[in-house]
Structure 1
Amino acid sequence: MDGRLLAGRYRLESVVGRGGMGTVWRARDETLDREVAVKEVLLPAGLSDEERENRHRRTLREARASARLNHPGVVTVHDVVDEDDRPWIVMELVRARSLQDLLDEDGPLPPGRVATIGRQIAGALRAAHAIGILHRDVKPANVLVTDDDRAVLTDFGIAQMAGDATLTGTGLIVGSPAYMPPERVNGDPAIPASDLWALGATLYAATEGRAPHHRGDAMAVLAAVMTQDVPPPKNAGPLAPVLTALLERDPVRRMSGDQAEEALKAVAAGHAASLAAVQIASGRTAVDGGAAQTVPPHQQIPVPPPDMTSPFPPGPGQQWTPGHTQPPPPRRRPPILPILGGVAAATVILAVAGVVLRMNSGPSAPDTPTTTPPPTVVAKQSTPAAQDTTPSTPATSPVSSATPLPDGLIPASGPGYTIGVPRGWRRSVQGNSVVWTDPVSSAYVQVDRTIWTGDPYDHWVTWEQEAIADGKLKDFRRVGEITRTSAAGYPAADIEFTWTRAGVTRARDRGVIAGGRPYAVVVALPASQWNDSEKLVKNVLDSFRPSGVG
């Protein structure tokens, strides 16, 4: 086929490489007199005419979408040619070795160089995700590295087409098992976080010399991805916390693209490497010597008094209030994943028929949700659900407290804790929360015990992202920075924010995990009263004591 002219313009000269998705040719664009790379896309054998046509159309569509990407970390797509009933993708010719070739020939790379490569790929993924393109096959073989360490990601769009299990009746899923994230192995659709897991696995391989779940065959790899955590890297040095954050099994808690790019930039800078490592490990990401928020666990949200409606609909067995973030979606039991024979070039095709692999990915959520609790949120609840609520009573009968309370507060208690609340405020129980409400205003104190895990600082980062994304806290605005603090000697973090609910409300919410039990302690007031009551807010929050502490 050497010398063939495509579309009357692209002269094929020699084969650059072959892989599971096709053949890449060195070619010359005779119209513009420049060298290009042309990818001859190969469609799997055995497809029906309808399936071939579907794949063909989708390949062209995805390649054209990829051509919209304009990022130095992406191989530029110049043209798409439809010839001989096959798609041909005309791309920038990058004179480089693949990262896989580098590893095979030179061995594992130093962390700083890996971070330099990873930062560019993270930027490429971020740019692609911003316009709705997923890669779905990030791996060392698809990362090209030039002699001056420019790194570019290849096969955008092509992998997306091939990875779509809805393309055919047989449910084909193409991917490289060692770089496939747990959610995809589990049968869930790919999302941007899936590409980031694959990025983490690629960088892990670059420092350690092999993929995180390296095994002797594809079946064993898939089983490990589904059921086992990634072994801690031994050679990654300051890059290790970034890899850990990218290889988080739960996609909701996984580091995001922009956070990964900034963290990798810091590690690549060398002098900021240890700062980046410390900050990422503690829930922050270094940004030019400063700190940016990283992806935290999902959690719950605090709730307002009965007369307030929460912008967050309550979920099964949980209460929403602007202090917590939504818990992660229940894990689904893994579907049956048939493996079609043959793994070429580290690529496996999974089908929904054939040899069956069934595994449990971990504890699944309860089948029967508990009764949905009512609204008590520092926000509005659109449709307050009925809940088991104790009658409103004066602030609980006094309980002993080892620490004297400031003037104006009386001791109160809830399950597993004590707290000081303003005298005369009325107590009610709403789901996982106890709320003390000011009888003459919309102010309230709330302690919520909905389960969440992870670092308290991360808790608020996640919650804020979700609050902004769903827009249910009208006019939400964080006040100042999320700050680390302590509660009765336990690590804690505060977030302060305002939102509109029959006027502007302002709240400070403190997240703390004491003895394995998470709490969110909220004080909310009309914003007009905040300055005059800031000391009260501080006193209430500081009075919180898990049982037996202080």
Structure 2
Amino acid sequence: MEGRLLAGRYRLESVVGRGAMGTVWRARDETLGRDVAIKEVVLPDGLSDEERANRHRRTLREARASAALSHPGVVTVHDVVDEDDRPWIVMELVRARSLQEILDEGGPLPPARAAEIGRQIAGALRAAHAMGVLHRDVKPANVLVAEDDRAVLTDFGIAQLAGDATLTGTGLLIGSPAYMAPERVNGDPAIPASDMWALGATLYAATEGRAPHHRGDAVAVLAAIVTKDVPPPRNAGPLAPVLAGLLERDPARRLTGDRAEEALKAVASGRTADGLVPGADTTTGTTAGTAPAGAGAGSVPAAHPAQPVPPYAATPYAATPHPPPGPVPGTTAQYPPSAAPEPPGEEGRARSVVVPILAGAAVAAVILAVAGVLLWPDGSSGGGEGPQAKPTTVAKQSTPGPGDTPTSPGTEPASAEPASTGDPDGTLPAGLVPARGPGFTIGVPRGWKRSARGASVFWTDPASSAYVQVDGTPWSGDPYEHWLVWERQAAADGRLKDFERLSITRTRVGDEPAADIEFTWTRSDGLTRARDRGVIAGGRSYAVVVALPAARWNENEALVKNVLDTFRPSGVG
């Protein structure tokens, strides 16, 4: 194989590493005269021809998406070659050792150095998540550290496009058991928070010398992840609260990429993470078992003072209720929603599902433990295309939808009820009444009907196609950048007919940065206009939409503003 010329330009020189997912070669790009690294992707044995073809196409598709990432903490993907019936990923050649090699040779790192490495990797993950790419296998072996302590995250070639279920095939879940998040071990799809858990486990290993739930075999590791608390770190010092925030069992309360990056920067510079990790006790390195600090009801004030306005002026001729919008395939932040936080007293019941899951994984773990990679058959939960595959709409952000498709079987709204009436505090603008959903409160027009579907709660006007929607599908990153990516994907997808962006503006929800995207699209009853506010608060991400018939927008613009400004993350649910 040495000396082989790929695609007429890449000369393979020597093997620099092998793993369960393939072989990494040092090669020479003879066209540009530079050294590169080339990963020869090896597909799992035992797949049918159709499954292999699907995996092959998906690997190429995901690698091309990874090539769009541009961040100093990401190994640059230069090219993807399809040759010899297998994919070859051409990457930047980084002259560095892996973090795993550094730990094996020199032992645990000081907290400040581990934090500096973690800061760079958190930034890389944040950039990837903003592009809709999940890594799924963050671990010390995939973190390269150069002599100047530049840290880069490699192996994005096995990353997953968030929400992509079209080429899943067998629904195999790939990753290293010791660094898998609890929700993934429980069979749920990967989300951005899963990568953040893996970063926490990687940094835990950097200071403690081994992964948080180190055990003798893969099955024992998986059982410990879902049933045992993370042992308190002994050597992490000021890094301990950040580790606790990253290794939070509930993904909805786990540190997000931007907060983790800020907290790690503080520790790396010799400061503490005080005030940067919600609910953290900096003396013990643990997080409180309550809602994140500052996320209590009413703790986030409105972005602007509310202006009293008359109730929504409904279009007189729109007498038939319009069905609430459905999910939009192909939009950004289509990360599969995580499981709802466990209600008090149900921890034991929730954990009881581990037994059959682990039993089903035992055979695979025995076969693959030597390779250190677990291929988890999660059936249709991966969104495969087989005859038993479940609908993939739960993996799509519902912000917003065409609104022209009736509710499909299995996705019926919760019993439609009018929004709460009355405002005992008298704090909402005229025409609005208080309403509540999972983790938030909001003011909605009086008389609008409440329903729920997937990760979204809707309030629809019985007399027109207008609606308010709060979507809780997880996403991460800067809200403004989030909408830029969303806009490109929504326009390319075509489900929002005649989509046209009007503006994207930065705003705030209390102390949290937020952004509004305003746009129009055509529904069955004509042109619709919407304003969609994205914000991450209290460890949760939200998209708050107000949509009206475009012809009625100007006379109701103050109402749109009031509804958005009354949105409060409450830390409840």
CA shift digits 1:14-65 (9 cap, x unpaired): 1101011000011111111211111111111121111111111111111111
Select the residue among 419, 428, 440 that pairs with 1:375: 419
* 1: CA distance, partners of 2:53 / 2:569: 54
| Secondary structure of residue in 1 paired with 2:18 | strand
Look up the match of 1:209. Answer: 209
Look up the match of 1:342. Answer: 368
How far off is 1:160 after superposition?
A: 2.5
Does structure 2 conserve the Cα–Cα contact (< 8 Å) formed by 1:59 and 1:161?
Answer: no
1:113 aligns with 2:124: no
Look up the match of 2:424. Answer: 435
Equivalent position amino acid for 1:78 in 2: H
- What is the number of residues matched between the two proteins? 393
Does structure 2 conserve the Cα–Cα contact (< 8 Å) formed by 1:239 and 1:277?
Answer: no
Gap change, CA 1:225 and 1:373, over 3 Å in 2: farther
Give the superposed CA RMSD. 4.8
**How does 1:30-49 map onto structure 2 within 5 Å?**
30-49=30-49
1:237 aligns with 2:237: yes
1:176 aligns with 2:176: yes
* 2: CA distance, partners of 1:343 / 1:96: 27
Q: How high is the TM-score relative to the length of structure 2?
A: 0.58
Does structure 1 conserve the Cα–Cα contact (< 8 Å) formed by 2:252 and 2:338?
Answer: no
Percent identity (aligned): 65
Equivalent position amino acid for 1:344 in 2: V
CA shift digits 1:322-368 (9 cap, x unpaired): xxxx9972657567352212223421111258xxxxxxxxxxxxxxx
* 1: CA distance, partners of 2:357 / 2:294: 28
* 2: CA distance, partners of 1:327 / 1:180: 15
1:329 aligns with 2:326: no
How far off is 1:186 after superposition?
A: 1.3
Look up the match of 1:21. Answer: 21
Gap change, CA 1:503 and 1:217, over 3 Å in 2: closer
Q: How high is the TM-score relative to the length of structure 1?
A: 0.60
CA shift digits 1:234-288 (9 cap, x unpaired): 1111111111111111111111111111111111111xx22x2454255699xxx
* 2: CA distance, partners of 1:78 / 1:163: 24
1:186 aligns with 2:186: yes
Look up the match of 1:280. Answer: 277
Does structure 1 conserve the Cα–Cα contact (< 8 Å) formed by 2:179 and 2:201?
Answer: yes
Gap change, CA 1:234 and 1:165, over 3 Å in 2: farther
Equivalent position amino acid for 1:329 in 2: A
Gap change, CA 1:278 and 1:238, over 3 Å in 2: farther
Which of the pair has more CA radius of gyration?
Answer: 1
Look up the match of 1:222. Answer: 222
Gap change, CA 1:297 and 1:194, over 3 Å in 2: farther
Does structure 2 conserve the Cα–Cα contact (< 8 Å) formed by 1:134 and 1:192?
Answer: yes
How far off is 1:157 after superposition?
A: 3.6
* 1: CA distance, partners of 2:173 / 2:338: 29
Gaps of 5+ in 1: 286-293, 310-325, 354-368, 377-388, 390-427, 429-433, 454-462, 483-498, 520-550
1:247 aligns with 2:247: yes
Look up the match of 2:137. Answer: 137
Equivalent position amino acid for 1:32 in 2: L
Gap change, CA 1:164 and 1:139, over 3 Å in 2: farther
* 1: CA distance, partners of 2:164 / 2:432: 49
Gap change, CA 1:165 and 1:225, over 3 Å in 2: farther
CA shift digits 1:392-437 (9 cap, x unpaired): xxxxxxxxxxxxxxxxxxxxxxxxxxxxxxxxxxxx7xxxxx8355
Does structure 2 conserve the Cα–Cα contact (< 8 Å) formed by 1:163 and 1:172?
Answer: no
How far off is 1:168 after superposition?
A: 5.7
How far off is 1:143 after superposition?
A: 0.5
How far off is 1:171 after superposition?
A: 3.2
Does structure 2 conserve the Cα–Cα contact (< 8 Å) formed by 1:300 and 1:450?
Answer: no
* 2: CA distance, partners of 1:176 / 1:508: 43
| Secondary structure of residue in 1 paired with 2:210 | coil
